[in-house]
A and B are shown apart, each in its own frame.
Chain A
């Protein structure tokens, strides 16, 4: 008995000791995300004026993927997919209105997975969609308990600065301006890169997984003046992918997806070039912040043992297809920078990556999770939906049978790239097909050409046939609309402007209330009675005003609808 115990202990020690040793050899991971950065970086050539020397330097030291696409063209579904390794069409998380932890309450995120396998996981800045998810990290800056990933950031006192508000539909951050401030005074990403740099310059007991979330060039495009100065307004060139009349051959769903309110509004106010300038300046700023992080790594003790990944969550339209913003299936919106640099000795790729490599195979950011776990020699995560990029990191020309799929906001709609063609299918069956080799900006839709039928069938064969249902966010997680108590002096007039969405009314009073929509003249239109404790979603538009009365139609208060779906709670008292 005793003898057996002794043998067991010896055996245990024998196995534990080398494992520990092994853990110490595990490579660190520096995981850099840049928000809303399209292919306007020097090494991808998306815009001739883009200045990104630091990102270019990183690209030149590792593998640059030139045909990488996001899993979804919006922050929330994209970042949720990357961090869980679960595809939107599997999870049902398709757009920004949904809540990751409502849809995937138990999913283990990349940092947690590394933590569980002996890593110290830390992060700073925007990695998830406006929350930290404290349970997934060992440390965060700002502190994870706050669930606010943003350090202090300088904003202009009076806003908007350059782009007037076009209506209630407009996102309040769509604006640009040069700030008379130093990087340090600006804060934000400078503070993120500072904190990340401090971690990189330290020696750590454990290998680290360090996530750096650079927020620019996400709106608002406010950055210190020196970055604007690099792009004189008079020299600004329009986006190379812009073509005035490239909508005609789009199917109805594409025609609907393209033009939005922003672009004509921006042009109407003569702000197109200013907007481009703001985006280029924000990219240059973001690049400088990335540079600080890379410098810290290179100057610190972890340089030789750290995998570096840089990615952006999706692209951006600056007028292409008459669109300004994201959320589309076109390449300008789905193509993203992706750079991977692996040092020698990484368990999954002992020879490391070769500097100056470019890879043109179609890849997706869903692959980041399995790629990183394999590089670090960790067991595969069963729920990962993307293929590991290891074969391509080992040999950029190796056989790659996959296509890259970007899931759009409605189940069944997606954009798909192989190594030459780009195919878009909308939920109503509308289709687009482009030959990226000859038509990189997707100006000529070939989907209706009979000779392309086989090609379309072959491309579609890469796409799933089943799509998880869209799971709406709970009332509790919606933005709460401000309750304005009745005020005789307030003129209650709706100025509806923008697309329809749901407004969820909840009556917390102990008596029934009546709900009225105020029309443009200020006349109430009844939407019925909401009994005590009842709930009712109603369709509304930005700028609408909803009046709440008691059963006798005495005014109790009102709501003014903003730019997104929200929860309108009639308070208890």
Chain B
């Protein structure tokens, strides 16, 4: 055969193969359900559908009627970066080596295939907007269309700003500009280029769309309209910024609550017998310039006025996000996509509103580890609460399972899809989480790793010396044990009681065996 013919034949065969591969991918992918993947920053499971009668979340509540609402879902680390890295890679913090806000999984595991990358490999078109990974490390390679922003925020001035810190009142914005200047003078490398944050709260009377989360809801609905025209199924990830600080929300959501009538935390004190490294310093509040004076909860408490303002702001922010969610789900239905779309709504960790005398996240306590998680799959017949222990690291395999695509074999979570049909199944025996306590905030200047295990009844935590360079945990320094049956708020550490030593030993062994031995058994 002449050379040119040989080449032509080869080319022809190649084209055929390519065509066949494409046709095959489309044929199978086209039948697959879409995924609407909604994360809500700092949202604790305090919603109407989780039994809170004070907070106004009609849209979450309505969604929960056609979804499974997990009441025992736990994050793998109670702070954004490690929690989100774990969700998005299906790996636990010790594997991603992201234990705190500085860790970057893409540096540690350059070739890791994230959840949207895996969906892309299986024929999905993947899009993100808002906060999916941690701020400043959006991992743009994860999406076909990464990091969409509402047009209004695409200006040269705003493009690099974190949407967290946008205010609406001109005076507040001017104030932030001044504060930022002062911050940068003190520290040219100030967090978020000095923009985080201005004041801790803002109530501004404007339509939802004037606020970032409102605007990205509109953009998401518009994008759904575009995506539904594609032949490929889509994976749309939308990360809401509220109720993360600062509590900036339209006035109408503030007006849903009477600040003076809000019920405050029933346990505004450090857990009895808790070790020195267990509590967070709530330093995040200090990022708001009206709260710069805040101290470690063992040193000083917020005033009643401050506490009420913050709780009010948090509730208003949740109700605002609730409205955004409602609008988005309505948009999905109006586009006719609701019948063939998996919907998952999750929070990256809990949040303290005065519980344990502290604020924000960053502990191993239940209030920070337990997260809202609502999942709907097309054709779902059962709905309601599921009390089985699940973990956010389960999301990756669960979504693969629900979409009918292969579950990668490196997953460190388990698909909980079976629970959607039968919420009473015997499931995981424990959830595992961990938290790196930095010496910057410990009264004794120590650096610790807290290893947490929640079982159906007990919450057991080990605090160990920790080397953050090698990632190796050292000596056991302190232990916490809470009996959630008698002490659901975790107000008394009973690990030191003689009568509990056999139990402590047993839990310690279980913790040591780890997640591999806590998986559901057939």
Q: Are A469 and B475 also in contact (CB < 8 A) when A531-B295, A531-B296 are?
A: yes
Q: Are B474 and A537 in contact (CB under 8 A)?
A: no
Contact with B along A527-552 (1 / 0, CB 8 A): 01001111111000000000000000
Inter-chain contacts of B296 with A (CB < 8 A)? 531
Q: Are B443 and A533 in contact (CB under 8 A)?
A: yes
- How far, in whole Å, are A536 and B276 apart by their CA atoms in the complex? 13
- How far, in whole Å, are A420 and B295 apart by their CA atoms in the complex? 63
For residue B439, CB closer than 8 A to chain A, the reply is yes
- How far, in whole Å, are A537 and B439 apart by their CA atoms in the complex? 8
- How far, in whole Å, are A504 and B296 apart by their CA atoms in the complex? 20
The residue from B186, B295, B445 contacting A526, defined by CB atoms under 8 A apart: B186
Inter-chain contacts of A532 with B (CB < 8 A)? 299
Q: Are A531 and B443 in contact (CB under 8 A)?
A: yes
The A238-267 residues at the B interface (CB cut-off 8 A) are none
- How far, in whole Å, are A512 and B444 apart by their CA atoms in the complex? 14
Inter-chain contacts of B186 with A (CB < 8 A)? 526
The B441-460 residues at the A interface (CB cut-off 8 A) are 443-445
Q: Are A535 and B443 in contact (CB under 8 A)?
A: yes
Q: Are B440 and A531 in contact (CB under 8 A)?
A: no
Chain B binding site: helix, strand, loop or mixed by DSSP?
A: loop
The B286-314 residues at the A interface (CB cut-off 8 A) are 295-296, 299
Give, as a whole number of angstroms, the nearest-CB distance from A125 to chain B: 36
Q: Are A537 and B440 in contact (CB under 8 A)?
A: no
Inter-chain contacts of B439 with A (CB < 8 A)? 536-537
Q: Are B475 and A534 in contact (CB under 8 A)?
A: no
Give, as a whole number of angstroms, the nearest-CB distance from A553 to chain B: 12
Q: Are A535 and B445 in contact (CB under 8 A)?
A: yes
- How far, in whole Å, are A531 and B276 apart by their CA atoms in the complex? 14
The B469-484 residues at the A interface (CB cut-off 8 A) are 474-475
- How far, in whole Å, are A526 and B286 apart by their CA atoms in the complex? 15
The residue from B295, B440, B445 contacting A504, defined by CB atoms under 8 A apart: B445
Q: Are B444 and A469 in contact (CB under 8 A)?
A: no
Q: Are B295 and A528 in contact (CB under 8 A)?
A: no
- How far, in whole Å, are A469 and B472 apart by their CA atoms in the complex? 12
The listed residue with most A CB atoms (<10 A of its CB), out of B186, B295, B444, is B444
Give, as a whole number of angstroms, the nearest-CB distance from B73 to chain A: 35
Give, as a whole number of angstroms, the nearest-CB distance from B190 to chain A: 12
Q: Are A469 and B445 also in contact (CB < 8 A) when A531-B296, A537-B439 are?
A: no
The A484-517 residues at the B interface (CB cut-off 8 A) are 504-505, 512
Q: Are B445 and A537 in contact (CB under 8 A)?
A: yes
- How far, in whole Å, are A469 and B475 apart by their CA atoms in the complex? 9
Q: Are B299 and A531 in contact (CB under 8 A)?
A: yes
Q: Are B443 and A469 in contact (CB under 8 A)?
A: no
- How far, in whole Å, are A512 and B296 apart by their CA atoms in the complex? 12
Inter-chain contacts of B443 with A (CB < 8 A)? 531, 533-535
Residue on B nearest A531 in the bound complex, by CB: B299
Inter-chain contacts of A505 with B (CB < 8 A)? 445
- How far, in whole Å, are A534 and B276 apart by their CA atoms in the complex? 11
Give, as a whole number of angstroms, the nearest-CB distance from A521 to chain B: 16
Q: Are B474 and A528 in contact (CB under 8 A)?
A: no
The B410-445 residues at the A interface (CB cut-off 8 A) are 439-440, 443-445
A–B complex contacts, Cβ < 8 Å, 10 sampled: A469-B474, A504-B445, A512-B295, A512-B299, A526-B186, A528-B440, A531-B299, A532-B299, A535-B443, A537-B439
A interface residues with partner B (beta carbon < 8 Å):
469, 504-505, 512, 526, 528, 531-537
B interface residues with partner A (beta carbon < 8 Å):
186, 295-296, 299, 439-440, 443-445, 474-475
| Given A534-B444, A537-B445, 4 further pairs, Cβ under 8 A | A528-B440, A531-B443, A535-B443, A536-B445
